Structure 1
């Protein structure tokens, strides 16, 4: 059997190695506290679950690719409140099956020879570009620049997509509006799409992050967001892409071919989620409490906070910049605490680990006690 050479060349998804190490530790009787994979484990708020139950219809039909008008309207209203942008729900908003699939598929839709991704970073934009047959260019996020990209280092002509991701996974850094403004101007000048993955926009512990939807000129700009983090709904797979009507129109043409329209009962639950902010404040308070407990404990264990104050991740420099995968595996063996080696996010992440604040507050407190007793 012959496989797609892109698939063969990708190698194992990095977190597969971490999962194998966690399973081996558990098999040896270790009580593993998993700070490695960034999957929210807070309960989905009851009112969202009730909205889902009430939306299940005895007659099941295929959902439309453009999504329910009620959901597009709820997303537009949320964007207006959060970012001050007035979006046309009919032409500038498209519900998606979470944001991951939409991030992956964007390179399939657009022309151009290459895709620029920030590094270290979430691997899906790069993998989507490779499956689309495009060259991938990694744009470093350096600590000395506040983990912001050097836009002048991009070879803009011939580029299909330039990806930004702020608040950033894995560094937790945020970006000023000026970065979005300049990136969007360069994208328009060279007919490139600026794609902004803002999945963590609502998890912040300092200043409220800015976003690309605040731009007054959103030509060549699209933004991706999701309910997985802000509303503790990872299993619902509900997100959106919004921005330039031409890009949205192209996605509407493409997406019926790959069958990724969200289920209508999930869309109706999403209407409830986008229409409420109190539960988001509550979610943010929970992560803030867990961050306060764990950050001091990691620092006591010799790690140094190297990243920003957003997302539910801690981006930590290893003691003396030691090998991150070796340190992560030693931490797992010695304490049962799993963290993600920074090199899993690309060579730019070497010498760091990422700790996800996703276990319960009680388990985070237990992890903190183990770190302090190490």
Structure 2
């Protein structure tokens, strides 16, 4: 007899970035020196003062205890202070914020917290980060994709949601600065989406993992800046801003009723961040100097690599933020598709990029270049292309 595996799991294709890892490993086994622009995992050194804060927290806790699901009061207060400095918005650290294990766990599990009954639909932007789709599937929800088109600035058309869909909608996921398109959303757009959420009774959930990384222009806006946080939940993380992906430290903030629901849900699944990580996170949210240095490094990488990519016929089609380049294929390369182009780039030059098709059908015709290798490796990649 076969094992009783969840049919939702067995029906899913391999997670796209596992396939990228497999492609890199196969190339390395053939002897290639691969420069990996595929997965969006920062490879900058975690600042020394944050590593020391972690070590000091471990030394200060000789008896290990389970972390509380609600998070340390010091961290909740530190996150609220950062939100106040960054966005000039006051949130209550006791009721409107909760530390999380990065943002991925919230993006995956939110549908399990708020969906059910007639509310069985999740709306996402396409192309987009695949975790929200997979979380919706495991929660038994249907998914509606809202195309992110270049002519609309890669923003979803909120008017495309039908009355029937709005009546079923549990969550509208936004992700700005956007992965993979690098686009940003305005405070006015967030305000309109929040009004729609309150009118129709769904959750506006905003994944803002890249809020602190931008190449030029003004700092990106946040859904936390809407006039009322009712029906609004915002997720953010230290992974990108502070080069701390392995720490798995982030937060969810917004509607106090939603935060209370997360406080009830999360002890069941054991995703509270370790206390020593939370103490390091306090130090990270309190400092901006290291974040400015990170932004400068990503800008230098972009300047080093983008002209070389354009010599391949690629064109920069994306927005001004994140650490991604969203590159449109040349007309001659479009018929073969983004996966074929990425495979050729890996075989010919040892450069690994993410095919746009990995982000859904709407991503076909593009490749995503994550500027995560060191500046020296970005310069080496440019030299190979030259």
TM-score normalised by L of structure 1:
0.98
RMSD, matched Cα: 0.7
1:75 maps to what in 2? 79
Structure 2 residue aligned with 1:2:
4
After TM superposition, the structure 1 stretch with the greater mean CA deviation from structure 2, 226-235 or 106-115, is 106-115
**Residue 341 (1) aligns with residue 379 (2):** no
Q: Are 1:148 and 2:155 counterparts?
A: yes
Report the equivalent of 1:286: 297
1:220-239 Cα shifts (integer Å, max 9, x gaps): 00000000000000000000
Where does residue 109 of structure 2 map in the other structure? 105
Q: 1:11 aligns with which of 13, 16, 41?
A: 13
1:215 corresponds, among 215, 220, 226, to: 226
Residue number in structure 2 paired with 1:178: 188
Is 1:23–2:25 an aligned residue pair?
yes
Q: Does 1:302 align with 2:309?
A: no
CA displacement at 1:340 relative to structure 2? 0.3
CA shift at 1:219, angstroms? 0.4
Query: Secondary structure, in 3 states, of the residue corresponding to 1:195?
Result: strand
> Residues of 2 paired with 1:288 and 1:44: CA distance?
18
Alignment partners' CA distance in 2, 1:42 and 1:21: 23
Structure 1: stretches of 5+ with no match in the other structure: none
User: Which residue number corresponds to residue 229 of structure 1?
Assistant: 240
d(CA) in 2 for partners of 1:102 and 1:68? 18
Q: Which residue of 1 is the match for residue 172 of structure 2? A: 162
2:277 to 257, 266, 271: 266
Structure 1 CA distance, aligned partners of 2:192 and 2:47? 38
Match of residue 45, structure 1, among 44, 47, 57: 47
What is the aligned length? 372
Match of 1:123 in 2: 130
1:360 paired with 2:374, answer yes
Of the three residues 315, 318, 325, the one matched with 2:339 is 325
CA distance in 1, matches of 2:130, 2:306: 25
The CA distance in 2 between the partners of 1:66 and 1:100, in whole Å, is: 17
Structure 1 residue aligned with 2:254: 243
SS of the equivalent of 1:149 reads coil
Which deviates further from its counterpart, 152-161 or 258-267? 152-161
Q: Post-superposition shift, 1:25?
A: 1.1
How many Å separate the matches in 2 of 1:27 and 1:319?
A: 30
1:351 pairs with 2:365: yes
Structure 2: unaligned runs, 5 residues or longer: none
1:333, CA displacement in angstroms? 0.1
Whole-Å Cα distance in 1 between the matches of residues 26 and 17 of structure 2?
14
CA drift at 1:167: 0.1
Partner Cα distance (2:245, 2:186) in 1: 28
Partners of 1:146 and 1:250 in 2: how far apart? Answer: 34
Aligned residue in 1 for 2:141: 134
SS in 2 for 1:60: coil
Instruction: Encode CA deviations 1:47-99: one digit per residue, 9 max, x unaligned.
Output: 11111011011110010000000000000000000011100000000000111
Secondary structure at the aligned position of 1:65 is classed as coil
Shift of 1:215: 1.1
- Deviation at residue 16 of structure 1 after TM alignment: 2.2
